[in-house]
Amino acid sequence: MTTKRAAIFDVDGTLVDSNHLHVVTWWEAFRQAGHHVPMREIHRAVGLSGGDLIDHLLGDDRDPDTDEQLTAAHHALYATYFERLSSLDSSADLLRALAARGWEIVLATSAGGAELAALRSAIDADDVILGSASADDVADGKPAPDPVAQARELAGVPSERAVFVGDTVWDMKAAVRDGVVPVAVLSGGIPRADLEAACARALYRDPADLLRNLDADVFADRESAGETPVPSR
């Protein structure tokens, strides 16, 4: 039986302060295509893959032939921010602290390609990141469990030996479906009540808050990463 443990992290809104950039760039992509989509609705859809986000926001009565154009417009708009992306406070310190405790660090994100490279550059902790399960690696993105399961496979651990940290309802649903411990941060702007309703085991303000509480909650040293339920903070 493996003694390894995996700390799996979402990226946008969890380790990098980028959710609202996605909101603005998706809003503009929709506007250019003639769709008026309120920013509050886009914000709640951030974390889905591009195709799933479009489907969620525009519904089945849209012209699916325009999906590729919308996705390309979003990518082009968001790419203008690549060199200015900023990690959330203490993100790299958190990953390094967990790695020092023996956790395998893996990313599970809807981003892929150049976007993922820019995000990893912003985090600046590649020395402890084992790998990533991105949109390029799985058939279905969150809330399907595929990205989390793929990340676990990279780390070589079963679900009971893994924790997934994210900032959206979709992250929590993916974690629950894969059987890992779902942990939420509020740094992506999603309301606490929504994350609790999606079964977040514990909640933190941001990576810095999680780092301060490593000895108290789900990442505290124990035989199994998921054996003891932890109340929401």
Task: Give CATH 1.10.150 domain extents, the chain.
Answer: 19-80
CATH number of 5-17+86-212: 3.40.50.1000
User: pLDDT digit of tens for each residue in the chain (233 aa)?
Assistant: 668 999 999 999 999 999 999 999 999 999 999 999 999 999 999 999 999 999 999 998 888 889 999 999 999 999 999 999 999 999 999 999 999 999 999 999 989 899 999 999 999 999 999 999 987 788 889 999 999 999 999 999 999 999 999 999 999 999 999 999 999 999 999 999 999 999 999 999 999 999 999 998 788 854 444 443 343 44
Residues 6+ apart with CB under 8 A from 143: 48, 169, 170, 171, 173, 174, 177
Task: Give CATH 3.40.50.1000 domain extents, the chain.
Answer: 5-17+86-212
Cα–Cα separations (whole angstroms), residue 113 to 119, 133, 150, 209, 212: 10, 11, 17, 30, 32
Q: Supply the angle between the helices 67-79 and 50-58 in degrees, to the nearest 10.
A: 120
pTM for the complete prediction? 0.92
Given CATH 1.10.150, say whether it is the number of domain 19-80.
yes
